[in-house]
Amino acid sequence: MTDSKVLLFYKFAPLADPLAVKMWQKALGEKLGLRGRVLISKDGINGTLGGTVQACKAYVKELKSYPPFAGVDMKWSEGSGIGEDGFSRDFPRLSVKVRDEIVAFGAPGELKVGPDGVIGGGIHVKPDEVENLIHDNPDLVFFDGRNKVEWEIGRFEGAIVPDTTTTHDFIAELESGKFDDIKDTPILTYCTGGIRCEVLSALMKNRGFTQVYQLDGGIVRYGEKFGNSGRWQGSLTVFDNREVVDFEGEAAKLATCHTCGAAAGRLHNCDEPSCRTRVPVCEDCLSKPAYCDEHAALAV
């Protein structure tokens, strides 16, 4: 089996011709035999791709040769291998699309992006700066920028977890009034690789939150630095066939298995064919049918 890698990356930068960038990215991915998803908008690029080590290295080199993407932060992780067809086992195909937003909050006209990235977002905090931030701000709260199924299996200790099924739900949550009591409290937003917090922190500031920070590089960079010994607890949801990853050894199991009720740290697609919801399951139930709350009656 050929060694494989998964790349996770984004770069906010104004793009004059997103369609031309799409055509370049599609051709490049096909040439290198990569699979995964790449989204492009007038505000930049957001992607996760898998392939051989050599193909991933070649991709990164060419991506960074394009001036708007020169400073892109590439997050590397181990893939599940290369199949007999020569492609990554972690993705079914290569998809490259142009969208209004490279992360879909439903606010394309609100986000402002310049050559240096998002304008008016939160203050970036590197993983090794988190403890100093807490020391200087004892009332600091962690604010999860992901969706319910993600924070169910892994989250920062004591984090606020908004009631969101999709990223589109965040604006309604922020405007609901339920977080008005922390508008003047120091807030550290976090998400998988950092991109959702780039947007979320700006949306929060636009709605009156006054002390907003964002975890630079997201949970991925924090986990690389601290493993299971820091404030992160549980497993990290990823959006490829691996479903979840752990930073080291045995991670805490925070969720409840939808099949048997045991402690769970893995995910399973709802077995109702038309449903795209993922639900937490334990290791013993990974191969058993599992259903989301909406389709739970089918399990009878």
Q: How far apart are CA 212 and CA 297, in angstroms?
A: 42
Phi-psi region of 19 (alpha: psi -120 to 50; beta: other; left: phi over 0): alpha
Looking at residue 172, its pLDDT comes to: 97
Looking at residue 1, its pLDDT comes to: 44
- Kindly list the strands in the beta sheet with 141-144, ordered across the sheet, starting from the edge strand earlier in the chain: 123-125, 212-215, 187-190, 141-144
Q: Which helix (H) or strand (E) holds 78?
A: strand 75-78
Q: pLDDT tens digits, the chain, 300 residues: what are they? A: 458 999 999 999 999 999 999 999 999 999 999 999 999 999 999 999 999 999 999 999 999 999 999 999 999 999 999 999 999 999 999 999 999 999 999 998 899 999 999 999 999 999 999 999 999 999 999 999 999 999 999 999 999 999 999 999 999 999 999 999 999 999 999 999 999 999 999 999 999 999 999 999 999 999 999 998 999 999 999 989 999 999 988 899 999 998 899 999 999 889 999 998 899 999 999 999 998 888 887 776
Looking at residue 2, its pLDDT comes to: 56
Give the phi and the psi of residue 216 in degrees, each rounded to 5: -65, 125
157 secondary structure, DSSP code = T
Q: Is the dihedral of CA 236, 242, 246, 252 positive or negative?
A: positive
- Does residue 263 contact residue 253 with C-beta atoms inside 8 Å? yes
Looking at residue 192, its pLDDT comes to: 97
The model carries a pTM of: 0.93
SS3 per-residue string spanning 242-300? CCEECCCCCCCCCEECCCCCCEECEEEECCCCCCCCEEEECHHHCCCCCCCHHHHHHHC
Looking at residue 156, its pLDDT comes to: 97
Q: Which residues are catalytic?
A: 191
